[in-house]
Amino acid sequence: MGIGRYWRIYRGFVSTCVSQEMSFRLNFLTLLVLELVAFVMAVAGILVLFEHVEKIGAWSRPEFLFFTALAYLIDMAFLTFFAVNFWEFSDDLRTGNLDFVLTKPVSSLFMVFCRRVRVGGLVSIVWAIGAVVYFGTQLPAGWTAERIVWFTIFMVAAMLLKVGLEILVGTLMFITVEGEAINLLRINLQAVQKQPDFIYGAWFQSVFSFLYPLLLVTSIPARVMVDERWPAAVVAFFFLSILYVWWMVRVAWRRGLRRYESASS
Amino acid sequence: MTHVFATWWAAVRIEIGRLMEYRWNFLFRMAVVSLVPLVVKIYLWSAVFASTAGAQIGGYTGDSMLAYQLWGAVFILFVEVRTTVDNVSTDIRHGRITRYLLFPISMFEITTCQYVGSLLVQGAGALVGVAAVLAFTNAMPVYPLSSNFWIALAMVGLASVFWYLTHFVVGLLAFWLEELWTFFVLFQVAARFLAGNPIPIDLFPAWFRTASLYLPFQWIFYAPARLVMSPEPMPELWQGVPILAAWCLAMFLVMRFVWRRGLKMYTAAGI
């Protein structure tokens, strides 16, 4: 099946989600407030910290603010396009509704994790992009044409990595069936990527860079803007980890489907 | 009166039994929710103190900041109790509260008993964690015979009541609104930050410290953590007990008001 057909299906999903979301307008507004409050508090925390210290590791206030905005942007993109699907997947597994998804003539991963879009999140993404651009201008390197291009490429790659990592944890729901605990694990693990990699100890960095490369998601795109040079080995490792994670997703998903017992049958 | 207590205790025991039925799920949730953010906070503060080459930050050393974060994480477990109170809104929306209007026990009573059951189980888990840390490390200094200690405990108890009542009130908004989970999360995100988690209140600017004196939040995390780890009396923080008690009373009155207004709107959908 071609990409064009997937795109048409995806447009259909988005259209349905717009109609659903417009039925709960207050929820739409409170979500926007919630996301803005979370960001304001994260920024306020950085400002308070840097009232007491000049630097944390090699980074000073502008770098940390840029990193926080970047983490927020990645978070908002994930929340908008994917997050709701993980909760629905949990319900579908428990109730057996996954049967209906599996009978569709499209990729089951696509059907499960791309079906629901939180359209209201697009507003937060716009704010987040504004914050990334603003805090990016405060960095010594600033925005140049070359950096914009590389940053965009790394952001797309980071999103691919992030989605793969989240699905990888999500596949544990095939084992537990009750998905709430796994979803909580997923959400709490996100706290790890919201801090730069260098704050963590050596073994923690190793686990979350090599085994489950969550630390790369925000730290590597941030370094595109912060660092003068990006060692070729680091860049190669970043892109290789995306391949590794998606290979793991493929294996875990297939095994999960084989394990699935179909509660409704 | 004894009959009423027996009914309440039965409801508490049922809730404990329910949680024990899914004890691994419950313990896993508790561990994930408390340990992952705690580890991240500890690493962040370690990096901050490493950057100051051992100097104090606002009177905190690296060790005292670690103790603050650990005690705060413990107290949070006694306050943010996973409970069925979040189901209040679902019960209202699906018309299930009709049964509470007929039962000899009210919805508030039964939900409170379930809350107490969850609190006992979660609190026991937290105490096991504290005992393990105290047995093997010096990371959590504590002075159990001091006045600070008992005041901190009273504060945590009141904070737990406040948290519960606030969630109950938010749940009651289901009489008017369809989706409420964003309100719960919004409250949690804002409350944690204003409570001094992960940055202690005394590191904030003066205007913020003054404003937070009258809010309920710093008495949930910051004040009990500071009190319990301090060998010297800290009377400036003792005022948190009456302030929190006033907030609890206010929230209880709001809850009664919202409940009565909501019942007038209630249509018992699904009957």
Q: Read off the pLDDT of each residue in A120-131 and give the average, rounded to a whole number.
A: 92
Residue A17 burial class via C-beta count within 10 angstroms: exposed 0-12, middle 13-18, buried 19 and up: middle
pLDDT of residue A263: 63
CA distances from B60 to A179, B45, B199, B200 (A): 40, 11, 11, 10
User: How many whole angstroms separate alpha carbon A195 and alpha carbon A219?
Assistant: 8
Residue range A165-219, pLDDT digits in tens? 999 999 999 888 777 888 888 988 999 999 999 999 999 999 999 999 999 999 9
Q: Is residue B37 a contact partner of residue B141, using CB atoms and an 8 Å limit?
A: no
Q: Is the Cβ–Cβ distance between A96 and A263 less than 8 Å?
A: yes
Of all residues in chain B, the one with the smallest CA distance to A59 is: B51
CA-based nearest distance B52→chain A, Å: 7
Backbone angles phi, psi at B144, to 5 degrees: -65, -15
The angle formed by the CA atoms of residues A203, A179 and B118, to the nearest 5 degrees, is: 90
- What average pLDDT does the segment A218-227 reach? 91
Tell me if chain B has a CB within 8 Å of the CB of A180. yes
Select from B77, B32, B39, B33 the least CA-distant residue to B198: B39
Q: Does residue A39 belong to any structural domain of this protein?
A: yes
Look up residue A126 and give its two tokens.
Answer: 């716009």
Asked if pLDDT for residue B83 goes beyond 70, the answer is no
CB contact under 8 A, B29 and A192: no
Check A34 against B189: CB less than 8 A apart: yes
Other beta carbons within 10 angstroms of residue B269's beta carbon come to 11
A205 CB neighbours in chain B (<8 A) are none
Confirm or reject contact between A24 and chain B (CB < 8 A): yes
Please give the tally of structural domains in chain A: 1
Q: What is the mean pLDDT of residues B6-25?
A: 86
Q: What is the structure's pLDDT at B84?
A: 64
Distance from CA of B147 to the nearest CA of A (A): 31
- What pLDDT does B19 receive? 83
Out of A41, A48, A55, the one facing B189 most closely (by C-beta) is A41
What is the model's pLDDT at position A195? 94
Of B44, B179, B193, Cβ closest to residue A41: B193
Nearest to B88 by CA among B113, B107, B65, B109: B107
Per-residue model confidence (pLDDT) at position A1: 65
Query: Tens digits of per-residue pLDDT, A233-261?
Result: 888 999 999 999 999 999 999 999 998 88
Cβ distance B40 to A195 less than 8 Å, yes or no, reads yes
B235 burial (CB, 10 Å; 0-12 / 13-18 / 19+) is: exposed
Burial A158-187 (b: 16+ CB within 10 A, else e): bbbbbbbbbbbbbbbbbebeebebbbbbbb
Residue B270: the pLDDT is 59
pLDDT > 60? residue B271: no
Output helix, strand, coil percentages for chain B, rounded to the nearest 5.
75, 0, 25
Task: Tell me which chain B residues have a C-beta less than 8 angstroms from the C-beta of A176.
Answer: 25
pLDDT single digits (tens) B127-176: 988 888 888 888 888 888 789 999 999 999 999 999 999 999 999 988 88
Q: Is the minimum CB–CB distance between B51 and chain A shorter than 8 Å?
A: yes
Distance of alpha carbon B106 from alpha carbon A203, whole angstroms:
52
Number of domains in chain B: 1
Nearest C-alpha of chain B: how many angstroms from A64? 12
Across chain B, how many H-helices and E-strands are there?
12, 0
C-beta atoms of A189 and B36 within 8 A: yes
Distance from CA of B46 to the nearest CA of A (A): 8
Smallest Cβ distance to B43: which of A178, A181, A200?
A200
* Mean pLDDT score, A69-95: 92
User: Do the domain assignments include residue A265?
Assistant: no
Cβ atoms within 10 Å, residue A3:
7
Query: Which chain B residue has its CA at the smallest distance from A186's CA?
Result: B32
pLDDT of A97 above 90: no
Would you place residue A264 in the very low, low, confident or very high pLDDT band (cuts 50, 70, 90)? low
* Domain of B184, in residue numbers: 2-265
Residue A93 within any structural domain of the chain: yes
Pairwise CA distance, residues A21 & A50, whole Å: 39
**Which pLDDT band, with edges at 50, 70 and 90, does B82 fall under?**
low
Q: How far apart are CA B230 and CA A10, in angstroms?
A: 58
Does A16 reside within a domain?
A: yes
Residue A122: CB partners within 8 Å, gap ≥ 6? Answer: A80
pLDDT at position B96, please? 81
Spell out which residues of chain A touch residue B203, defining contact as CB-CB under 8 Å.
48-49, 51-52
Does the pLDDT value for residue A100 go beyond 60? yes
**pTM of the model as a whole:** 0.90
The residue of chain B nearest to residue A30, with distances taken between CA atoms, is B182
CB B91 within 8 A of CB B97: yes
> Which residue matches tokens 């080995």?
A233
Does B61 touch chain A if contact means CB atoms closer than 8 Å? Answer: no
pLDDT band at B33 (very low <50, low <70, confident <90, very high): confident
Residues of A within 8 A of B61 (CB-CB) are none
Q: Encode pLDDT of A127-140 as tens digits.
A: 999 999 999 999 98
- Chain B contact set for A49 (CB, 8 A): 48, 199, 203
The answer to whether the peptide bond before residue B224 is cis (omega within 30 degrees of 0) is no
Residue B204 has its nearest CB partner, among A30, A48, A53, at A48
B213 pLDDT tier (thresholds 50, 70, 90): very high
pLDDT for residue A74 is more than 80 = yes
Q: Give the number of other Cβ atoms within 10 Å of residue A258's Cβ.
A: 8
| B245 CB-contact burial (10 Å; exposed 0-12 / middle 13-18 / buried 19+) | middle
What pLDDT score does A28 carry?
Answer: 81
Q: A195 and chain B: CB distance < 8 Å anywhere? A: yes
Query: What is d(CA B81, CA B121) in angstroms, rounded to the nearest whole number?
Result: 10
Amino acid (1-letter code) at residue A152: T
Select the residue of B32, B37, B43 nearest A185 (Cβ to Cβ). B32
Please give the structure tokens belonging to residue A64.
């940390």
**Residue B232 predicted with pLDDT over 60:** yes
With an 8 Å Cβ cutoff, is A192 touching chain B? yes
Mean pLDDT calculated for residue range B218-223:
94
Going by pLDDT thresholds of 50, 70 and 90, the confidence category of residue B269 is low
- Report which residue type is found at B155: M
The residue written with tokens 């290789």 in the block is: A240
What pLDDT, on a 0 to 100 scale, did the predictor assign at position B85?
63
pLDDT confidence band for B183 (50 / 70 / 90): confident
Residues in B closer than 8 angstroms to A191, CB to CB, are: 36-37, 40
Could you say which of A48, A178, A201 has the minimum Cβ distance to residue B203? A48
On whether residue A217 sits in a domain, the answer given is yes
Q: Which domain holds residue A30?
A: 3-259
Domain assignment present for A125: yes
Angstrom distance (rounded) from CA A91 to CA A183: 11
Half-sphere exposure of A53 (CA within 13 A, CB side): 26
Distance of alpha carbon B82 from alpha carbon B188, whole angstroms: 13
Q: What is the mean pLDDT of chain B?
A: 88
The answer to whether position A171 is within a domain reads yes
